[in-house]
Amino acid sequence: GFVPCAATDRVEIKVIHDKAVGDRNRHYNEEPWTLRAGNEDGQMSLPLEISYALSLWVVGESRAGRIEGSLIGNLLGSINTMTDIFTNMERIVFTPIPLAYSIHLRQVVFLYCLALPFTFIQVLGWGLVPLMALVSFTLFGMEGIGREIENPFGKDANDLHMDDYCRDLKRELDYLINLRNTIPGAHA
């Protein structure tokens, strides 16, 4: 079945397959396995649990002789790459800009914009007003942008549209699965 990207949703995945993967405690048997989002047992997040189950599936299918030995390294390497990408995204989410840094940056920008007019008033006169408007707009804008992009995986208007990305990925995977089902001999 399809797994939505929102790891906060409660998801159950039951694989009905002749020789399904088994859960984390049963490496390979004929019972279906279940994954639950929300990290109820405190051990793994849903994407990591899925990648672990995929790795077990690859190893199990290899042992059963249904996957060529030359493909195992590529499949496990792809799973590891997806896991690395996920952990890098988690690092971005869980390493926010420290509050003290954010407050300090805002204060420095404010003090700089407050002090700057006194350095140019003799030279620019009233021309200082548009210059200060431009400088203030630029500096406060950059500070605001920094706050806005601090966590790009949220649900704010300027965040990445992860649900759309996941929907597109699902559509592409469904296409590949359906394509595989139309090619004679591709089920082997």
As a residue count, the chain comes to 188
Rounding to the nearest 10 degrees, give the CA dihedral for residues 81, 87, 90, 96. -110
Banded pLDDT at 43 (limits 50, 70, 90) = low
pLDDT at 133: 93
pLDDT at 108: 93
- Is it the case that residue 46 has pLDDT exceeding 90? no
- Whole-model pTM: value is 0.51
Tokens of 89: 């995204």
Contact in structure between 74 and 132 (CB atoms under 8 Å): no
